Amino acid sequence: MINGGELSENSFSSLPNFGGEVILMDPIKDKIQSTSRETRQDIVGKVLSYSCISLIVIVVLSIFVFVATKGLATFVVNKASIWDFLFGTNWNPSATDKAGNPLLGALPMITGSFGVTIIAVIFAAPFAIGTALYMTEVASRRGEKLLQSVIELLVGIPSVVYGFIGLSVVVPFVRTHFGGSGYGILSGAFVLFVMVLPTVTSMTVDSLRAVPKYYKEASLALGATKWQTIYKVLLRSSTSGILTAIIFGMARAFGEALAVQMVIGNAAVMPKGLLAPASTLTSVLTMGIGNTVMGTVGNNALWSLALMLLLMSLIFNIIVRFIGRKGRM
Amino acid sequence: MKKLTKIATVIIAASAILVGCGKSNSSSSSSSASSKAVSGKITIVGSTALQPLVEKAAENFQTDNSKVSITVQGGGSGTGLSQVQSGAVTIGNSDIFAQQSDGITASKLNDNKVAVVGMAPVVNKDVGVKNLTMKQLRNIFTGKITNWKEVGGKDQDIVLINRAEGSGTRATFETNVMNGETAAKSQEQDSNGTVQKMVAETPGAISYLAFSYITSSIQEVSLDGVKPTDANVTTNKWKIWSYEHMYTKGTPNAATKAFLSYMKSDKVQNSLVKELGYVSIGKMKVQKNADNKVTDIK
């Protein structure tokens, strides 16, 4: 190339016009070789979206790393055993047992969290599916819109309001109709039932709407009644969507803190029944975090609970993915 | 969180520098007429029991000193102490002595006692008990007494509502009542308001509250015949009380110093402190140290 350049320079240097031609050719060459406005837009867009993505990834990662290091400190620094944490029933971070290990049995809270979550979802699922079917199959356009806005309203109510209603209405109701002091897993489940209902309902509606119309038409054309169509075609083909909705509801219920804390009684003991005071991972966390000092056993133990919650939400996510993949057929 | 704290520290430091610059500018421009005026930014975090008093006082202080901006936040005594220790905030509010808190180096902090708060056991109105002995109260909270008829009330199960583990209110109750015994595992609640509502509505309930939260919907309990009143607190006849502390780290700046002395001034102590249900620090005839030893003030 260099040689060629030199050659051409030597051979054409005698032609005076050539320089002018080179100048004429330059704009086209420049245009082709330089970056156009569109390309620059492309680059800006790319940089922008990549930096947004990397920011989000960094935030998520640093949250995870932070909670993990804090949560694992209980086991690494304070030498508590993971086995005792998961299956011990004595939660009292400020005290130690005879061997000098802190008393960090989190099983009561784990049981409480799963208890309220599962019961709440068992209550909520039939109602949510029923409402969703009504909205998609039975109601007129107006009725559907009305229900839609009611559900959206339920989502918008802050959890402290749910908690206060729970404290003033649900707790006395449970006390008079079921017995006990009114504080316990059952009250927590009742409050969570209302809180997860909108999530599960609106996701079920989406999955019912996603069923191809010709499924329904074919079923009706075969002479099936409306109920048979719903039961044998609609619900069957949207099962994975409905399951996803339920898991999302569970994740929401598992992570809810304030409303549950107000009605469950917050006794860090193994629940003796649905009517006895119990506690959840979140309720112990919210109560304790302001009263402990960073870096102490009590504080680290709370971070371990937070890590547990994080891992559970990860597991719920994985389950949702798994169901989604199976449901694709 | 650590990062956040760092960022917060940087912001506070930066604003402090900025405000500091502003101050030097303004002081050079303004004449000696407002030599008393201070400026700066004060961040106060901690005890929710003390929060209403500090908020009100800060509001009044800022109307007189428009160049000072004060932010008051809750978060609990533990948060207050650890945040002031790490230097993230100017003042850390606490219901307990820094010495009583795990993970706090008390010698690095300056204690400012701004008020005294009395606490009393409270029960549901229907249990029919208005007086208990200290021993009975202790046995109720350790779970040895489980029915109200054992202490002269109705035949009804006792529903224990304790306060959050590690909270200032609970620490005060345990040092003054429990005598080293461990409370039975029971329901726990963090906020005074919720406890008040729960005791009023739950049959057989017992808990304890700061004086200011005792209303006619619940029954306060006398101990060994002593009524829970401010006057009995000042002489230590009523034993369940604690100081409200405002901790600072190192030498406080001018604005902080001014605000702290405002908190201790008669203006606050004689009006706000009383209005909001605390006992004025100046009225105390006894004092308590971090080991709960009570001595007379001469």
* pLDDT tens sequence across A203-230: 999 999 999 999 999 999 999 999 999 9
Task: Please name every residue paired with B2 in a beta bridge, in sequence order, or none if there are none.
Answer: none
A·B CB contacts under 8 A: 100
Is the Cβ pair A292, B197 closer than 8 Å? no
Of A122, A328, A131, A144, the closest CA to residue A237 belongs to: A328
Mean pLDDT (whole number) for A89-100: 79
pLDDT in tens, chain B (298 residues): 455 555 555 555 555 444 444 444 433 333 333 345 778 889 999 888 888 899 999 999 999 888 889 999 888 888 889 889 988 899 999 988 988 887 788 888 999 999 999 999 999 999 989 999 999 999 999 999 999 999 988 899 999 999 888 788 888 898 889 888 888 888 888 888 888 988 998 899 999 998 888 889 999 999 999 999 999 999 999 999 999 999 999 888 888 999 999 998 988 888 888 888 899 988 888 888 888 888 887 6
Burial class (CB in 10 A: 0-12, 13-18, 19+), A193: buried
- A147 token code pair: 């229900």
The sign of the torsion formed by the CA atoms of A322, A325, A328, A329 equals negative
Mapped onto helix, strand or coil, the DSSP state of residue A98 is coil
End-to-end Cα distance, chain A = 59
Residue length, chain A? Answer: 329
Q: What is the pLDDT of residues B110-144, one digit of tens each?
A: 999 999 999 999 999 999 899 999 999 999 999 99
Q: Which of A58, A64, A176, A291 to mutate to test binding with chain B, by most B CBs within 10 Å of its CB?
A: A291
Say if the ipTM goes beyond 0.95.
no
Question: Is A93–B188 a contact, with Cβ atoms under 8 angstroms apart?
Answer: no
List, in sequence order, the alpha helices (H) in chain B.
Answer: 2-29, 51-64, 77-86, 134-142, 168-173, 192-201, 230-234, 254-264, 266-267, 273-275
Pairing of strands B131-132, B222-223: parallel
Longest CA–CA span in chain A (Å) reads 111
Q: Is A213 exposed, middle or buried (0-12, 13-18, 19+ CB in 10 A)?
A: exposed
C-alpha B264/C-alpha B277 separation (Å) is 16
Domain boundaries, chain A: 2-33, 107-328
B79 contacts A288? CB cut-off 8 A: no
pLDDT for position B139: 93
* Chain A positions with Cβ closer than 8 Å to B: 62, 66, 70, 92-95, 167-168, 171-172, 175, 181-183, 261-262, 265-269, 277, 279, 286-299
Report d(CA B102, CA A301) in Å as an integer.
Answer: 14
Residue A310 confidence (pLDDT) = 92
Test B82 with A294 for CB contact under 8 angstroms. yes
A107-328 CATH pick, 3.40.50.720, 1.10.3720.10, 2.60.40.420, 3.40.50.1110: 1.10.3720.10
Name the residue with tokens 């209405």: A169
SS3 call for B294: strand
**Predicted pLDDT of residue A1:** 41
Taking the C-alpha atoms of residue A176 and residue B223, their distance in angstroms, rounded to an integer, is 32
Q: Tokens for A87, please give them.
A: 């299956």
Q: Test A66 with B1 for CB contact under 8 angstroms.
A: yes
Structure tokens, A227? 């109920």
For testing the chain A interface, which of B79, B181, B188 should be mutated: the one with the most A CBs within 10 Å? B188
Cα A209 to Cα A63, A154, A213, A219, distances in angstroms: 36, 21, 9, 16
For A106, the 3-state DSSP assignment is coil
